[in-house]
C-alpha cells in the first residue's frame, strides 16, 4: 500500500474481513474463559487471561483462515505474537489488548523496543509528508480488543487504529484512524480523539511488555 493510502482504502480492506476479525477475538476470549476457570487463584493473574485470549484468537485464524489475500504471521513463541498480513495491499494488523484503564485513549505505547517504535512511527494515511519514510514497505494497524460489562452484559469491542508515533507513557498515543469493528463485521470510522494530554499518572507499576513479545516476526 502506498504511503499516501486513504482511510477509505483501509476501511474497504477491513470490511472484507470484519466478521472474521471479530469472531477470532470472541472465540479467543471464550477459550480464555475456559482455561482460566481451571487456574487456582486466577484473580492474581490477569495477564494470563489476555495471553490465553491471544492464543485462542491466533488458533482460530490458523484453523479457519482470515479472508482472501490475508495470512497469519508473527512468532507465536514470543508470547503468542499475532500478526495478520495482506501482502498485496501491504497492510499488517497487530493484535493487542486495549488498555483504557492504564493508557489514556486505550492505545498501548510502543515501549522501548526500537523495532516496535518504528512500526508505531508512521506518516498520516491521507497525506504525503515531506521527509517522511514514504518508501516504508507496510502500513501497520493495531487490532485492539477490549472487554467491558455494560448493564450486566459482557461487551467485546474490537477496533483497528493507525498510529503516528511510538507514544509516551502517561500520554495518549497519537493516531489518525480508528475503525470500530462490530459483531456482524461492519466497520465504522470512529476517530473521536486526537491524543489530548492527560495530567494524571497512569503508570506507577505498569508491566510494559505483557501484551506480547517485542519482536516483529515476519512482518518486517
Q: Which residues of the chain have pLDDT under 50?
A: 1-4, 128-135, 192-210, 214, 216-220
pLDDT in tens, 48-77: 999 999 999 999 999 999 999 999 999 999
> Residues 6 or more apart from 151 whose CB is under 8 A from it?
none
The reported pLDDT for the residue numbered 55 is: 96
**For residue 213, what pLDDT is reported?**
52
pLDDT of residue 137: 77
Cell matching residue 10: 483501509
Domain ranges of the chain: 7-214
Query: What is the β-pairing status of strands 91-97 and 83-86?
Result: antiparallel
pLDDT at 101: 77
Find, among 107, 96, 94, the residue nearest to 198 by Cα.
107
pLDDT of residue 198: 37
pLDDT, residue 72, reads 98
Amino acid at each position: 500500500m502506498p504511503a499516501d493510502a486513504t482511510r477509505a482504502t483501509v476501511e474497504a480492506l477491513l470490511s472484507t474481513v470484519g466478521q472474521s476479525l471479530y469472531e477470532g477475538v470472541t472465540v479467543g476470549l471464550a477459550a480464555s474463559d475456559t482455561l482460566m476457570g481451571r487456574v487456582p487463584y486466577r484473580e492474581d493473574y490477569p495477564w494470563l487471561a489476555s495471553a490465553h485470549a491471544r492464543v485462542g484468537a491466533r488458533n482460530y485464524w490458523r484453523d479457519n483462515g482470515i479472508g482472501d489475500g490475508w495470512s497469519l504471521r508473527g512468532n507465536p513463541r514470543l508470547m503468542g505474537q499475532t500478526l495478520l498480513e495482506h501482502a498485496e495491499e501491504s497492510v499488517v494488523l497487530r493484535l493487542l489488548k486495549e488498555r483504557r484503564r492504564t493508557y489514556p485513549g486505550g492505545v498501548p505505547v510502543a515501549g522501548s523496543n526500537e523495532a516496535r517504535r518504528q512500526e508505531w512511527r508512521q506518516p498520516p494515511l491521507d497525506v504525503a509528508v515531506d521527509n517522511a519514510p514514504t518508501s516504508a514497505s507496510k502500513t501497520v494497524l493495531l487490532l485492539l480488543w477490549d472487554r467491558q460489562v455494560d448493564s450486566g452484559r459482557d461487551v467485546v469491542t474490537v477496533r483497528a487504529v493507525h498510529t503516528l508515533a511510538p507514544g509516551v507513557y502517561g500520554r495518549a498515543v497519537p493516531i489518525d484512524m480508528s475503525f470500530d469493528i462490530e459483531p456482524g463485521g461492519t466497520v465504522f470510522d470512529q476517530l473521536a480523539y486526537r491524543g489530548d494530554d492527560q495530567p494524571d499518572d497512569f503508570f506507577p507499576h505498569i508491566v510494559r511488555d505483557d501484551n506480547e513479545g517485542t519482536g516483529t516476526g515476519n512482518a518486517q
